[in-house]
Structure 1
Amino acid sequence: MRPLLAWLPAALAAGVLSACAPGGAPVDPETAGGADLYALARCDSCHGRAREGTFLAPALGQLRPHWDAQTLAEYLRDPAPFLAADARLGAMSQRYTANMRAFAEFGPAERLRLAEWLLEP
C-alpha cells in the first residue's frame, strides 16, 4: 500500500498541470479562419470574446455600413492614417482607452480573412 501512496502526489500534480495546459493544436495564421485569427491576435482582450466591446474598445458588430473587406484589411495593417483622416474613427479613439494596434504579424491574406470574418453578420 505504501508504494501506491508514494505515487499519489505525482499523479495529482500531473493531472493538475495537464488541466492547465492549452488545448488543441497550434493555429497556423496562413491557414486559419477569421475567428481563429481574432483569437490568435488577442482581439478579444479589448473587443470582447463575442465582439461585444468593452471599456477598452468598441463593439465590432456594426462594421458593414462603414467598411468593405479590403479597406478594413488595410486599416488592420496600419490604423493610424485612418484614425487621422476619418472623424468618426478619431472620435471613437478618444472614447476608448486602448489604442488600435497594427497587425504586422499577419500578411495581407490573413488580414483580409480577418476583415471578412469581422464583416459577417
Structure 2
Amino acid sequence: MSVFTTPCPCGSGESYDACCGPLHRGEHQAATPEELMRSRYAAYARDDRDYVFRTWHPRTRPDAVPPTPGLTWERLEILEADGDEVEFAAHYRTADGAGVLHERSRFARRAGRWFYLDG
C-alpha cells in the first residue's frame, strides 16, 4: 500500500496523502485547531517528531520531543472541538497493554498559524 492510498492515522477516512501528509510536508498549514490536533496525532503515529516540535507553541514547547519506543498509536477520537480547544482520546498500545490519553488541548494562533499551546 503506497502513502497515496494508506489511510490517514488521524481517522478522517481520507488517505494520508490527501489529509495530514500535506501539512507534514509543509505544503499548507492547519486551518483550524482540530485540523492541527489531527495532524499532530498523525505525526506522533508516524513518529514525525519534527512536525510535532514545529507545531508546538514556542512559549510552551520542550527542548526536544523524545521518541517513545514500544508505543503504538492506534486510534484518535475527537470528543469536542470548540474555539481554540480540542478534547480528544488517543488510544495506544504498549507491551503492558492498551491505554488512552484523554486531554483537552488548547491552541493559539501566532503569525497566522495555529500552534499547540498546552493540554
Q: TM-score, normalised by structure 2?
A: 0.28
Higher strand share: 2
Higher Cα Rg, which structure = 1
Q: TM-score, normalised by structure 1?
A: 0.28
Higher helix share: 1
